[in-house]
Amino acid sequence: MLKRGHLFLIIRIAVSISAICILLFVMREEMGKIFSLIVNLKKTFFIVSFILFILISILVSLRFKLLLKVQDISLSLIEVTRLTFIGYFFNNFFPSSIGGDLAKGYYASKSTNKKLSSFTTVFVDRLIGITSLVFFMFTAIVFIKDARDDRIALSLAGVVIFLVSFMMVFLFNRDFARRFSFILKFLGPFKLNEKLKKIYESINSYKNYRRILLKAFLVSFLIQILIVLIFLMLGKSIDKNLQIGFKDLFWVVPLSAVISMLPSINGIGVREGAFVYFLRRIISPEVAFSISLLYLGLTIIISLIGGVIYISMKNHKTII
């Protein structure tokens, strides 16, 4: 009989493989063009994309370091950056980017002996990142007509905005959270209830550090802008005269990122499908697919750097 963890892994693999197969089937007549576009890419723009990704990684590390301060965990930016790259490496083996989060939390806790604080920081770090995505989506709905005209995009954005808003109020407003305290009765033994309360208290404590949260959000906002610029540069690497602008990617990239959080292996397949779908009225499917494949290639290259860091640090019996 399959264990629950094994079953979830099989589901994630199945989702990614199914999404890739559907994409390949739909794009089967365009595969020659796609191959030609990727082979003949303009390397300068791709290198710029790579540099932007490295810059994003440093900013992600800076955000994590800021949040660690709340828990009195002191790690250097270099140490946190190592964790970030190692996280990228582990993303290849787990759904969306949960693997990277678990790796960051695990190694941060090993070095500080603060397990709860480390994993709480990872959670808040992810929550702030998602909140910045929501801000982008809300802004797109208000100001960009194409985003409002796409019913699926509008519906998805609405659901995500509602869920994240609900979570933020729940986590940082005790009075609101108490209304759902009855749920604890259905979550098992007393010890589990106590652990959940400790986790909630640890997360809730961040509301007392508004300046740090604001800094972390501003860093996240900058990260999202740079991610959009990466896709813009990848588009230019396919065709420097490509008729796609920052405004188009401003809403497509966040929506694709949200969809890539569905159960899959590092978002592979679902992210590419979403990107092709949302850009179908702006650029040709083969170009959109090529851009998404280049981004996938970029993430794999970055994750391999993380793998090298992980192996080299592992050989020295330490990660940070």
Query: What confidence tens digit (pLDDT) does each residue in 244-261 have?
Result: 888 888 888 888 888 777
Q: Helix, strand or coil for residue 125?
A: helix
Are 134 and 163 contacting, i.e. CB atoms less than 8 angstroms apart?
A: no
- Name which of 24-28, 167-171, 310-314 the model is least confident about: 24-28
Regarding predicted confidence, which is higher, 13 or 170? 170
Q: What are the tokens at 70?
A: 């709340």
The verdict on residue 177 lying in a domain is no
pTM of the model: 0.84
The verdict on residue 226 lying in a domain is yes
Mean pLDDT of 299-307: 91
The verdict on residue 182 lying in a domain is no
The answer on pLDDT for 216 being more than 90 is yes
**pLDDT value of position 32:** 66
The verdict on residue 174 lying in a domain is no
The residue assigned the tokens 């790796």 is 103
Mean pLDDT of 86-109: 78
Q: Helix, strand or coil for residue 77?
A: helix
> What is the DSSP code (8-state) at residue 265?
B
Are 237 and 43 contacting, i.e. CB atoms less than 8 angstroms apart?
A: yes
Regarding predicted confidence, which is higher, 241 or 98? 241
Which sign does the torsion angle of CA 252, 254, 257, 261 carry?
Answer: negative
The verdict on residue 129 lying in a domain is yes
Q: Helix, strand or coil for residue 304?
A: helix
CB-CB neighbours of 176 under 10 Å: 12
Euclidean distance between CA atoms 116 and 259, whole angstroms: 29
Chain-wide mean pLDDT for the chain? 82
Regarding predicted confidence, which is higher, 80 or 274? 80
Mean pLDDT of 230-245: 88
Mean pLDDT of 89-105: 75
**pLDDT value of position 1:** 47
The verdict on residue 181 lying in a domain is no
The answer on pLDDT for 14 being more than 60 is yes
Rg (CA), the chain: 20
Q: In total, how many domains does the chain have?
A: 1
Q: What are the tokens at 25?
A: 């089937």
The verdict on residue 173 lying in a domain is no
> What is the DSSP code (8-state) at residue 3?
-
The verdict on residue 290 lying in a domain is yes
CB-CB neighbours of 30 under 10 Å: 16
User: Whole domain around residue 57: which residue ranges?
Assistant: 33-133+208-315
